[in-house]
Amino acid sequence: MSYDYYEILGVSRDADNETIKKSFRKLALKYHPDRNPDDKDAEENFKKINEAYEVLSDPKKRSIYDRYGKEGLQNGGGGFSRNGTSFTDIFADLFGFDDLFGGGANKAEHYAFEKDFAIRLKLSFKEAVFGCQKTIRITYKSFCKDCNGSGAKDGKTTECSQCGGRGSVFVKQSIFQMQTTCPVCGGSGTIIKEKCKTCNGNCYQEKQEELQIDIKAGIDNGNKLIYRGKGNEVKEGLRGDLYIQITVDDDKHFVRHGNDLYLEVPVFFTTIVLGGKIEIPTLTGKVDLNIPPSTPNGHQFVFPNEGVKDLNSNRKGRLIAQINITYPKSLTDEQKKIALKLQESFGDNSKPYKGFIDECFDKVKSWLKK
């Protein structure tokens, strides 16, 4: 069945390229197969609007179409290039996906191994809180000079027959023709016939380097350091970046949360009864902790600016001291007599449960009578 490309896209014959692009964009989203599963009409419309856009977006093809119609395009005037400009390429151009479905695989320079790599660096609690200098030894990959990083003897490679040296192949899925990395050559576009004896075909040799690492005060678990130009050497004069993932040991006494420090302070029950003052440690010395009588278990006392220094400023977090009331595990006979005498001195106040229990009994009795 014959159909007009301008009518398919819903634009006039004198429409400019921007108008044609906007109309195609709108219709492509409307009839996309993912939005219309198992809808044959939508699939057919989707094919038509892609065909129409492929012609009308190309000035040469549009000119031929305007003068001779589709017959002109089919008779040597520039046919439909579904094996050249694919729907994937159209979408990449319109929607800004340079590497849609791997379409950009053959655009970037190919290296036999990654430029960047990452390592882990473990710090003590003290090193992270106060900062330090560390000397580390890294092992990085350096392209083999004898084969120029190709992995082939004398650097001699042959064109990959699977992708024709492009580094990518086309895979057809439904109505789409998608571009992806060649599975044979891994995107290089070449294959090795004879391995380089120096690197055994690995394309690189391992080298070691010693680095002095400056750790700023306040660094924490999960933080990353980036050292530019200390990654793998993929070619002469080009090294990637080294990423250092920080992990920090726990401390026996201080618990860190962000820039705040938590310190659990054991307090004997007599201090809770009488109140008192004790000294507790901070990162820079000590502070007085004043405990009022009857302070509840788990109560927190906050000391501003006694925590960890912020990594990117001079601000400090808080020190939060949390009370943990402790009791004697056993009493001597003399201690028992003193405790009993103290209890008796409070009279009924030493039996706070009495009124509560009596009231509860009375309530239950009234229920049973009913």
Sheet with 300-303, edge to edge strand ranges: 254-257, 260-268, 319-326, 300-303
Per-residue model confidence as pLDDT tens digits over 62-79 = 888 887 777 777 654 444
Residue at 265: amino acid letter = V
- Give me the torsion for CA of 251, 256, 261, 266, rounded to 10°: -50
Rounded distance between C-alpha atoms, residue 251 and residue 221, angstroms: 13
Which of 6-10, 58-62, 183-187 comes out lowest in average pLDDT?
183-187
- Tokens representing 59? 């000035």
pLDDT for residue 343 is more than 70: yes
Q: Which residue has the tokens 């391992």?
A: 206
Report the percent of the chain where pLDDT is more than 90.
48
Whole-angstrom distance, CA of residue 217 vs CA of residue 223 = 12
pLDDT, tens digit, 9 for 90 and up, residues 193-204: 888 999 998 899
Q: What's the mean pLDDT in 118-140?
A: 96
At 291 the pLDDT is: 97
Q: How do 224-227 and 117-123 pair as beta strands? A: unpaired
Task: Answer yes or no: are the C-beta atoms of 304 and 317 closer than 8 Å.
Answer: no
Phi and psi for 317 in degrees, rounded to 5? -80, -165
Residue 210 has pLDDT above 60, yes or no: yes
Instruction: List the one residue out of 102, 87, 97 whose CA is nearest residue 32.
Output: 87
- In this prediction, residue 189 carries a pLDDT of 79
**pLDDT value of position 135:** 96
Which tens digits make up the pLDDT trace of 282-303?
A: 999 999 999 999 999 999 999 9
